[in-house]
Structure 1
Amino acid sequence: MPRFLALLLYLFPLLALAEPAQLRIQGSNTIGAGLAPALVQGLLRAQGAMAIEQTPGAVANESEIRARDSQGHPVRITIAAHGSSTGFTALASGEADLAAASRSISDDEAQRLRSLGNLRSSRSEHVIGLDGVAVIVHPDNPLAQLTITQLAQVFSGQVQRWEQLGVPGGAIRLYARDDRSGTFETFKALVLDPHHSELAAQVQRFESSETLAERVRADRQGIGFSSLATVHGAKVLAIAEGDAPAMLPRRALVASEDYPLTRRLYFYLPTNPRPLAQALVEFTQGPAGQAIVADQGFVSQQVKALPVPIQANMPPRYQALAGEAQRLTVNFRFQEGSASLDSKAQRDVQRVADYLRQAGKLQRKVVLVGFGDPKDTPGRAALLSRLRAMAVRRELARDGVETREVTGMGDELPVADNDVEQGRLRNRRVEVWVY
């Protein structure tokens, strides 16, 4: 008997290690390095779990969270953060229950995963927060801003010396995330692809945003890009796109998605998700989850009202609005080629209605301002921008919001480059102002 008990004591730890995980998260390093573990632990605490413990995995950028639920049953959650594309691959192979991605699912990925349902539907695609891809240099670099075109020229190797950008420094050294990274795919889609450029061969690549930012901060000749949450003392450059002014990735500009290199952070679920995966998504969308998103250095989707300084280039009626009202930190955007609200906007309708209800502003305190891109037919841009604002008004009305005014400003005040399709999509937006 003593030998049998000794054998059991030896086997118990091995059995625990073999215990299947109740939730397997794979994908984005931006999300998986810190945000996903923090959200998981927040959910477990909200559910009354005890003895919550996180340990690193056997492989870099992997971790495991163990706990006991409110009934004392063991809970095990694994996180592997090797890049957004790896999350979709793991969903396809059945090795993940939830994919974390720092860019939206591609057409090829959505097609490959169609057996799991329509992953672009509001049931499967969940925006959990926002991030700005920050372009970073050494703290002593005197450069203040770059255009998207200049960025493409730098990272494709067409511009190779700092002097070509108007500052001293000699040869430019490039730092970028690896090909599996959603951060890189976002940068490629927003910067390189519109200029038909490829990443220069001499660039140094990193799986980790943290490591990349540390290297740039230590290199006087370096330039790189990382998540806003992992800048860590490097200097951040303002970025200009098209006719829009140069913008730093300030939180309000990222929240409204006006900053040119704003990106959305996602959780993707199959149509029939595991209960714990669904619970994590719902927790993340709520106030407690969004507070964790902000605590981790990202931009939450909690709605706030902020004053907007009056600028000389603003049309007179917009100046009057800025002088009397405040703008909410959310823009409504639309599905590509459609007047339907996208998956984030559908959630934002509820968030805006909740904010207005709590602020006592449900009745005639809201102005919706629609914007668009230029059209060949005179007056068409103004008409379409107003129709977009009216679409938002209809959705808000279902939650008891009676708007004060709906207006369309056409192609005025662009926030992106109208010469490229992605820029035109970003300019098609609806702002919310409150008195």
Structure 2
Amino acid sequence: MSLLRALLAVSLISGCALSVASPQPATLLSIQGSNTVGAALAPALIEGLFRQQGFSVITRRPGRQENEQTIQARKPDGSWVGIAVAAHGSSTGFRALREGSAQLAASSRPVKDSEVDALAGRGDLRSAAAEQVIAIDGLAIIVHPTNPLRTLDVDQLAALFSGELRSWRQLGGADAPVRLYARDDQSGTYDTFKELVLVPQGRQLDAAAQRFESNDRLAEAVLADPQGIGFVGLASVGRTRALAISAGGAQALLPSPDSIATEDYPLARRLFLYRAPDDNNPWAQALIDFAQSAEGQRIVEQVGFIGQAVRAIPVEAHADLPGDYRQLAQAGRRLSVNFRFQEGSAQLDNKAVRDLLRVRDYLDAHTGDDAQLVLVGFGDAKSDPSRARLLSRLRAETVRRALSRLGVTHTQVLGIGDDLPVADNQAESGRIRNRRVEVWVR
């Protein structure tokens, strides 16, 4: 009797199924880049795509290095296929696109000017065809659960991570040294932290900070250190405790699903897939389409990030809100989407273009014919407050016209001006975040 027959006989006698290793799969697609995207989200989306295609025996096979894996499956014809994911940091994804070793770059920050220039021969990486926002994340500032600190503003955060504040006593805590934990230089998580926290303050990360390639490894280190503080993506908070963060005098917010979905949370960020416009790999487009679908966005939520499906969120009508806005909070309900604009432009950005369709679909499914949509524009501070109100109203009008082209006609616009900022108007990145349009239904 052959060895294989003997093993089959043993398996039948014991009532156990025999596991036979799959052959080397044919690689359909290679994704490189962000650990935030590549560690769990991209593999889960690939598995969802494979299920949608009717593939079976879907498994994850570790790669040769840490943070590398292949998601493989068997097609209905019996052949094996796989999609390779290497998650070594956002910058490595754009390098792989340039070198032709990947068809998709996963990134936890927008593409940089230098990367756009380096890939210009393959098309515009900022175009709607190339740049895909697949999820929203919040950069959580985490401490040990026993740390008494509850809130920080961005200035304090910059002082901590630059080494200016070295004792918890300086923030009202114990007389103990602060120990810093940060992502490595290849990481989009670090790039986001640097651009939102350090650069506006003219600071650099303290050289004493311990650096990590993985969000989860960093969170484990903070959980083991009562004097530690670090930053990770929302999905990696685990048993650490996240702090509420404020910027520019705005209310301190915890990284919650609602505050991140609207991008009101000061350290909210978008997660991307980038595809070179000249790429013709059908599986790259198939994965993008699946990630943007309702099922793909459900998987985003299951993994621990914030999906982009529109929903109603509660807003308290505080007495200190502007009058028109307070009335709206009393009579209406806010939707979990803010429209934002391309940098230096009056045109909606790539996420907003897709959000127009999401708002239309929400209205079709959840409101009656008598429902009215209210578009509330906001802006950054101007020397003339009336000009800020005018510009904020014009932003709302831009969204109204775009929705009208999709058949959404019962709309009203309201310009709030520079009231209720969500970011610091002293920094350009903050001013961009403050130029937004909220969506309400009443």
Q: TM-score range by the shorter chain?
A: over 0.9
Distance in 2, matches of 1:169 and 1:348, equals 48
Which residue of 396, 401, 406 corresponds with 1:399?
A: 406
Describe the superposition over 1:237-259 as per-residue Cα deviations: whole angstroms up to 9, x where unpaired. Answer: 00010120111001100000000
Match of 1:428 in 2: 435
Distance in 2, matches of 1:170 and 1:362, equals 61
Instruction: Find out whether 1:278 has 2:296 as its counterpart.
Output: no
Instruction: Trace 1:256-271 onto structure 2 (pairs within 5 A).
Output: 256-271=262-277
Gaps of at least 5 residues in structure 1 are: 1-12
Distance in 1, matches of 2:32 and 2:389, equals 44
Distance in 1, matches of 2:282 and 2:316, equals 46
Match of 2:243 in 1: 237
Describe the superposition over 1:305-334 as per-residue Cα deviations: whole angstroms up to 9, x where unpaired. Answer: 122111122011111100010000000000
Partners of 1:229 and 1:297 within 8 A in 2 = yes
Match of 1:313 in 2: 320
Instruction: Find out whether 1:111 has 2:114 as its counterpart.
Output: no
Distance in 2, matches of 1:318 and 1:21, equals 53
Instruction: Trace 1:16-415 onto structure 2 (pairs within 5 A).
Output: 16-17=23-24, 20-271=26-277, 272-361=279-368, 364-415=371-422
Distance in 2, matches of 1:246 and 1:34, equals 29
Partners of 2:23 and 2:80 within 8 A in 1 = no
Q: Which amino acid aligns with 1:138?
A: H
Shift of 1:106: 0.2
Percent of matched pairs sharing the same residue: 54
Partners of 2:385 and 2:417 within 8 A in 1 = no
Gaps of at least 5 residues in structure 2 are: 1-19
Shift of 1:167: 1.1
TM-score (norm 2): 0.93
Shift of 1:399: 1.3
Distance in 1, matches of 2:373 and 2:39, equals 39
Shift of 1:73: 3.3
Distance in 2, matches of 1:131 and 1:361, equals 32
Number of matched pairs: 423
Change (3 A) 1:213 1:129: same
Match of 2:11 in 1: none
TM-score (norm 1): 0.95
Moved more, 221-230 or 67-76: 67-76
Distance in 1, matches of 2:280 and 2:263, equals 29
Distance in 2, matches of 1:114 and 1:73, equals 37
Match of 2:17 in 1: none
Partners of 1:363 and 1:401 within 8 A in 2 = no
